[in-house]
Amino acid sequence: MRRAAAMLADLADIGRDTRLGGYSRPVFGGAEHELREWFAAEATARGLGVETDPNGILWAWWGDPGPGAVITGSHLDSVPGGGPHDGPLGVVSALLAVDRMRATGHVPQVPFAIAVFPEEEGSRFGVACLGSRLLSGSISPERALSLKDADGLTAAEAYRSAGLDPERVGPEPRRLGQVRRFVELHIEQGLGQATLGAPVAVAESIISHGRWRISFRGQGNHAGTTAMADRTDPVVAAARTVVDVQVIATARPDARATVGRLQPVPGGTNVIASRVDMWLDVRHPREEVTAELVEAIRAAAEGNAALEGCSAELVEESLSPTVRFQPALQRRMKELLGGDVPTLATGAGHDAGVLSADVETGMLFVRNPTGVSHAPEESVEDDDAEAGVKALATVLAELTRGSEERQIR
Ligand code: HGY
Ligand code: MN
Ligand code: MN
């Protein structure tokens, strides 16, 4: 039986970012396309029937599609300079779980597929979980297709370049209606399991989180001929706001707020910027607190802009409510894996979170020894990855036994 570490090693050179370190695998870019091809080949080699739906989601069916389906899988796109496991560990584990189930002679008694969702990170077009949001109708095709990447290319053009018809992008209620349960395996993005000494954990919830763009506008000018008193410099307003973001979030228990991306325009060393775009990521277990934090940051941005004679505009780009995974499914997974498997809340969003509004969803986490993620240093111990595959195979075998209807309440 192949080990997860060996299969992950097959992907080690795809999308490696020599400038940032780690991996940069934007959706529908060369590297992610190569990974999608790799997945299709691995699934086909296992006799799974592979199809790409109009939203660019890959489905690898073991048997025929149909109602009451059990799905597993994750994503292959990454953040810029991300780690090797965020996404691919769930896809690799799903393929190897099929091998384990087959090795025991198990044949799913209900429709079963591995799904690979595009643009989970939202790193190219700014909206997290774009594929699962399109599938479930939680983003309109019009808005999705008009999203632009850093080069000004629209998602519609990216879909077209990936050989997909933008006209067909949109909600697929019939396809989604066929899915009964979705269990996603993912590296834990935090130190919960390392602290507990648990190689595998069951997800309990995802905290609410969203992304906002704040645009500060001032007057571009010459760095050498403009006296300090005569400037309306949006970079100064943005810089003050970045510090305010930290102060506001630090003052609120369990709050997280981040500015990881900030773009002065035009971005010349000897040029006072005319505009700064900065992106805000805010998260809290309670949605209403996330909203309060954003309002406080909006007020700070407007105040900082006014001090510099600039303007500030805050626009929401994506928002995800707090998700509580299906309690009965959590209980069943814990029973199957030995009751001492912990349940953990997470601060990271996932496609399983988006689909939880329509499908019974659950997640399995694999221990992250350093807790670091969205960075090249992300790692998983080989034996923990194996424990994850084994746990996923155990859960999926049970959910596809067909007789499990009686046991999950
Ligand atoms: O940003 C997140 O929470 C996830 O990694 N996409
Ligand atoms: Mn992920
Ligand atoms: Mn991620």
Per-residue pLDDT tens over the stretch 231-248: 999 999 999 999 999 999
Q: How many beta carbons lie within 10 A of that of residue 400, not counting itself?
A: 23
Distance 260 CA to ligand 2 centre (A): 17
- Distance CA(16)–CA(98), nearest Å, equals 28
Q: Does residue 120's CB lie within 6 angstroms of at least one atom of ligand 1? A: yes
**Average pLDDT, rounded, for the chain:** 97
Please report, for residues 51, 190, 308, the alpha-carbon distance to residue 273 in angstroms, rounded to integers and kept in the order given. Answer: 47, 37, 13
Distance 186 CA to ligand 2 centre (A): 7
CATH of domain 4-207+322-399: 3.40.630.10
Q: For residue 306, which of 400, 228, 236 has the smallest C-alpha distance?
A: 236
Ligand closest to Cα of 83 equals 3
User: Left, alpha or beta for 315 (phi > 0: left; psi -120 to 50: alpha)?
Assistant: beta
> What integer pLDDT is reported at residue 408 of this predicted model?
56
> What integer pLDDT is reported at residue 339 of this predicted model?
77
DSSP label at residue 23: B
The letter for the amino acid at 45 is: A
Q: Region 348-355: what's the mean pLDDT? A: 98
What the block records as the tokens of 40 is 């299709």
Q: Does residue 128's CB lie within 6 angstroms of at least one atom of ligand 1? A: yes
> What integer pLDDT is reported at residue 409 of this predicted model?
46
Q: Does residue 188's CB lie within 6 angstroms of at least one atom of ligand 1? A: no
- Ligand 1 atom nearest residue 122's Cα: 6
Q: Does residue 126's CB lie within 6 angstroms of at least one atom of ligand 1? A: no
Ligand closest to Cα of 346 equals 1
pTM (predicted TM-score) = 0.96
* Residues 6+ away with beta carbon under 8 Å from 18: none
Distance 269 CA to ligand 2 centre (A): 36
Q: Region 344-351: what's the mean pLDDT? A: 97
Distance 170 CA to ligand 3 centre (A): 23
Ligand 3 (ion): which residues have CB within 5 A? 86
Q: What are the beta bridge partners of residue 206?
A: 323, 346
Q: Does residue 77's CB lie within 6 angstroms of at least one atom of ligand 1? A: no
Q: Region 389-407: what's the mean pLDDT? A: 84
Ligand closest to Cα of 348 equals 1
Q: Does residue 349's CB lie within 6 angstroms of at least one atom of ligand 1? A: yes
End-to-end CA distance of the chain: 34
Q: Does residue 121's CB lie within 6 angstroms of at least one atom of ligand 1? A: yes
Distance 82 CA to ligand 3 centre (A): 8
Q: Which ranges in the chain are annotated with CATH 3.40.630.10?
A: 4-207+322-399
Handedness of CA 222, 223, 229, 231 (dihedral sign): positive
Answer whether residue 403 shows pLDDT above 80: no
Ligand closest to Cα of 207 equals 1
Answer whether residue 366 shows pLDDT above 80: yes
Tell how far CA 375 is from the center of its chain: 14
Q: Which ranges in the chain are annotated with CATH 3.30.70.360?
A: 209-320
Answer whether residue 259 shows pLDDT above 70: yes
- pLDDT of 321-344, one tens digit each? 999 999 999 999 999 999 789 999
Answer whether residue 251 shows pLDDT above 80: yes
Q: What are phi and psi of 97, to 5 degrees?
A: -70, -35
CATH of domain 209-320: 3.30.70.360
Q: Does residue 344's CB lie within 6 angstroms of at least one atom of ligand 1? A: no
What the block records as the tokens of 366 is 């694999």
